[in-house]
Chain A
Amino acid sequence: MYPTKYHKAASIDDAVAALNAGEDAKLLAGGQTLIAAMKQHLAAPSDLIDVRAIDGMSGVSADGDTLVIGAATTHAEVAGNADVQRLCPALAALAGGIGDPAVRYAGTIGGSIANNDPSADYPAGLLALGATIVTNTREIAADDFFEGLFTTALEDGEIITSVRVNAPKRAAYIKFRQPASLFALVGVFVADGAGGVRVAVTGAGEDGVFRHAGLEEALSADWASSAADSVSVDSDGLLSDIHGSAAYRANLIKVLTKRAVEAS
């Protein structure tokens, strides 16, 4: 690892100041992505600004049907939180299925979505649930937040503070694991909520997480696994790599959508 300077930010202002002061400063949450990249010399930030001790950055609160999840809340906390389990059990299950216990007790929702790995789980969940990403400067709809592979709408120096989710009527997430990393080779989150039926797919898109219009239309008409049968899932625009061709991923999108509807 290249030498770096560690800062423990006490407030958002503190973090912003440190970000601006550093030559190539980066925010640090659970370190499950960033530290690993640094060890491999794939990242070499001059400064690390740890956001986890900032007041209000961690923990879950519920207001009626709305969940507010602090950006530095760990996957394990989300998975085990009673309000999440009550209002959106599919999201609790998603968080509980990320990585392994060591990852879940350190990795955070903010770090995961800021990173926007094309195979990560949260992007599918937040996109399907029509979540709102709250930062220190504004609110961003999930539809606008996830822009492409490892890219988001976040500006330089912008800090995610929380994520807001409205409880859906019904929802489920099913992922088919890539055999080595156990990340999603394909993951499908189906949700039927205030914003209608939404089907978000992770692991498969060349541009990262996406919604599938054909499946959404079919499930809007009939929330049944058989409704997906007549939908054709095009392999254009899907990833193809050593773990799965675009055609195989297209097949999985359909199979997993059906299974998710059955599980919802």
Chain B
Amino acid sequence: MKDGIGAPVKRKEDKRFTTGKGKYTDDIRNDNQAYAAFVRSPYAHARVKGIDTSAALAMEGVIDVLNGQQLTGDGIGNIICGWAITSKDGSPMNMGAWSALATEKVRYVGDAVAVVIAESQALARIAAEAVEVDYEELPVAANITAAMADGAPQIHDNAPGNQIYDWELGDEAATDAGLAEAAHVTTLNITNNRLSPNPMEPRSAVATYDDAEDHYTLYTTSQNPHVARLVLSAFYNVAPEHKLRVIAPDVGGGFGAKIYIYPEEITCLWASMKTNRSIKWTSDRSEAFLTDAHGRDHITTAKMGFDKDGKITGFKIDTLANIGAYMSLFSSSVPTYLYAPLMSGQYNIQNIHCNVRTYYTNTVPVDAYRGAGRPEATYLVERMMETAAREMGMDPAELRRRNFVQEFPHQTPVLMQYDSGDFPKILQMAQDAADIAGFEARKAEAAKRGKLRGLGYSTFIEACGLAPSKAAGSLGAGVGLWESAEVRVNPVGSIEILTGSHSHGQGHETTFAQIVADRFGLPVENVSIVHGDTDKVQFGMGTYGSRSGPVGMSAVVKAMDKVEAKVKKIAAHTLEASEDDIVIEGGEVKVSGTDKSMAWHEVGLAAYVAHNLPDDMEPGLKETAFFDPVNFSFPSGAFICEVEVDPDTGQTEIVNFTSADDFGTIINPMIVEGQVHGGVTQGIGQAMLEQVVYDEDGQLLNGSYMDYAMPRAADVPSYSISHHEDSPSPNNPLGVKGCGEAGAIGAPPAVINAITDAIGTNDLAMPATPQAVWNAIQAAK
């Protein structure tokens, strides 16, 4: 079918995005628009002794200056983390209070202490500088090591030693025994560098209080507007849900950073009520670096044991994770349940133990960023495999093959039950595409030009499609992770899909339309997708964790099942046939084996005019469904990276990057390739360019693009991509597994394995900047 599943349909939404017609939050302008600017702490840790707003208030055009005492005084609740983690001694995690506007203390550079409301954005910012805050500086712990040290400054009173929890997964005694009997043990000390997500559109909010209706409307850059409304209502006491509409219109990228409900949205809603004006706030890039939740930031020591045949006997991990100054919405789950369960990789490992301790530091909160926990796990596992192979003198691909899981379902010792995949086949696909046989010749040729050529693998698995609600709940999640959908067939036969998934660049308006077009044999133009508005879509859990396909689309399929059943009943009644004989094909509803049929739109019309429906049937053609997954989905893949290093400067060029992946069923190969391109590029960014740097005083040293390096087109090669579609997910109706994060998860170890192969030393940390690579070469001399 032309526009159905598997067709590279051009994205329906791109015309408006590429012609400047997209409608983003900052494009909203209300009649009574006023603007907010936040007064932010220049110190990483300080007591707030007083706030003098008189100079700001005296400026013409300044409407009000509001502070944290007023906010908490009005009953606005503290910001919460929605996933409860229990320490191994049974104690609950130590969550410190986080007020949208700081009251007694500020805990990171950028922490908001007050908000200025003014007639223009420029004026609000100028007035914010005129607000004088009297700070008493306190000692700072700007990284994990400092936060753990004896006598470290106490960031939250209820987290002694700044520790939030000390958590474990797996059997420690069995793992120790596995390591003890190993013929070879590889040890790695590894950091996972801290990243800033940098969606192209910065965060923004437009909050409007209607005093006549006692009702709030919030336009915001959210990946999950319903979750935002739920949390704003249930925890932050802004307004009950029926008095609060949240709209996430076009959103220019999220990568996780737009999942959370931040101080600014809460403050704008509250300030709108206080001032009776519509309040707009749009972050600039500097503010984004300071206040958007960061990602990663782990320090890990790990040991992996192997028997004499290279079979893994045990894997023991000890990780320290930085949570930042406050616990953001999903922060606790990222280094725990999104991390440790991935430690089995693609391998059959009997014994795994993972200990994770998390700490507060005087830095912006750290939360999920594209991949969330899984890139950290994959980087560890895949560097471990490559390093171990080198130490044991084995081919790294062969070591992986000896340990691959080959039978499904496969229960790992760390919660996951892998349901499908074909790891040896996918690795072979990648090896063939990368011309492994020709590598030695290419290396010799590069050497003639004075270049060091290296090759690295990454065979990764991830868990997507978050998540079975019951399982998530038993592990501490505060919400269920199902998805909802509504399929509305209009009287003229066109279809609207309402989904709780949210598109912020993924292309849902195209791919969701394709699955409907495929099912009913209609052109994609006849299907439109409605999302991102709590007044239109009843509920939804939003988009993150590559869940829109496995969970969001599954809900649409369930609703389509119900529509199809009703369509068949109507057609059978009208055409005087048995329901079982009705087939839907090419936009026709037919009685099979006869020439009797109705056009699709005639059925729609019949349902709505209701002149001739079966006696017990309600008019209309609209169905709703909720889909709760029974398992995660398990996308996997093999990446092979080939690099050339200039030993004189440390400059590294990625000359080839090969991806063979298993995303299950592919709805739109063009969009999937785009996701792989973007994900791998972000992974290359982490591996070679990106790292947030705070100094000891908690000052952000690279809070702009002059100093924080993002990957550019010239930094990446033309990718070679292939898909394995023969192992669809058995746990959702379309067999999809999710493709949004794979690139960012799998790429970093492939890149670092290639560079360390080229330079002949394993001692290289991300990001492998020219300086870092050159230093590693010098150190190994």
Contact = CB atoms under 8 A, between A and B. Distances in A.
A180 B705 contact: yes
A251 B773 CA distance: 13
Contacts of A255: 648-649
A180 B709 contact: yes
B278 to A, nearest CB: 23
Nearest to A176: B649
A180 B707 contact: yes
B230 interface: no
B129 interface: yes
Interface string A236-250: 000000111100100
Nearest to A2: B126
Contacts of A64: none
B769 interface: yes
Interface string B129-154: 10000000000000000000000000
Interface string B750-781: 00000000000000000001110011000000
Interface string A1-12: 110000000000
A180 B125 contact: no
Interface string A190-224: 00000000000000000000000000000000000
Q: Secondary structure at chain B's binding surface: helix, strand, loop or mixed?
A: loop
Interface in B109-143: 122, 125-126, 129
Interface in B587-629: none
Q: Tell me what chain A mostly uses at the interface: helix, strand, loop, or mixed.
A: loop
Contact of A1 (B122, B286, B649): B122
A90 interface: no
Contact of B771 (A41, A180, A243): A243
A252 interface: yes
A35 to B, nearest CB: 14
Given A2-B126, A40-B286, A41-B129, A244 B708 contact: no
Contacts of B708: 180
Interface in A6-54: 40-41
Contacts of B710: 180
Interface in B547-604: none
Contacts of B705: 180-181
B707 A181 contact: yes
Contacts, number: 45
B770 A180 contact: no
Contacts of A181: 705-707
B771 A245 contact: yes
Interface residues of A, number: 17
B727 interface: no
Given A41-B129, A255-B649, A243 B286 contact: no
B693 interface: yes
A116 B689 CA distance: 27
A24 to B, nearest CB: 16
Interface residues of B, number: 24
A248 B648 contact: no
B702 interface: yes
Contacts of A183: 706
Contacts of B125: 41
A248 B701 contact: no
A251 B125 CA distance: 44
A201 to B, nearest CB: 15
Contact of A180 (B126, B649, B702): B702
Contact of B770 (A1, A2, A40, A179): A179
Given A40-B286, A242-B701, A243-B769, A248 B709 contact: no
A41 to B, nearest CB: 7
Nearest to A183: B706
Interface in A172-191: 176, 179-181, 183
Contacts of A1: 122
Contacts of A40: 286
B709 A251 contact: no
Contacts of B775: 245, 248
Contacts of A41: 125-126, 129
A176 B709 CA distance: 15
A181 B701 CA distance: 14
**Residue of A1, A180, A181, A245 with most partner-chain B CB within 10 A:** A180
B286 A242 contact: no
Nearest to B714: A182
A247 to B, nearest CB: 8
B348 to A, nearest CB: 40
B349 to A, nearest CB: 37
B302 to A, nearest CB: 27
A140 to B, nearest CB: 29
Nearest to B651: A176
A248 B702 contact: no
23 contacts: A1-B122, A2-B126, A41-B126, A41-B129, A176-B649, A176-B651, A176-B770, A179-B770, A180-B689, A180-B702, A180-B705, A180-B706, A180-B708, A180-B710, A242-B693, A242-B701, A242-B702, A243-B769, A243-B771, A245-B771, A248-B774, A251-B648, A252-B649
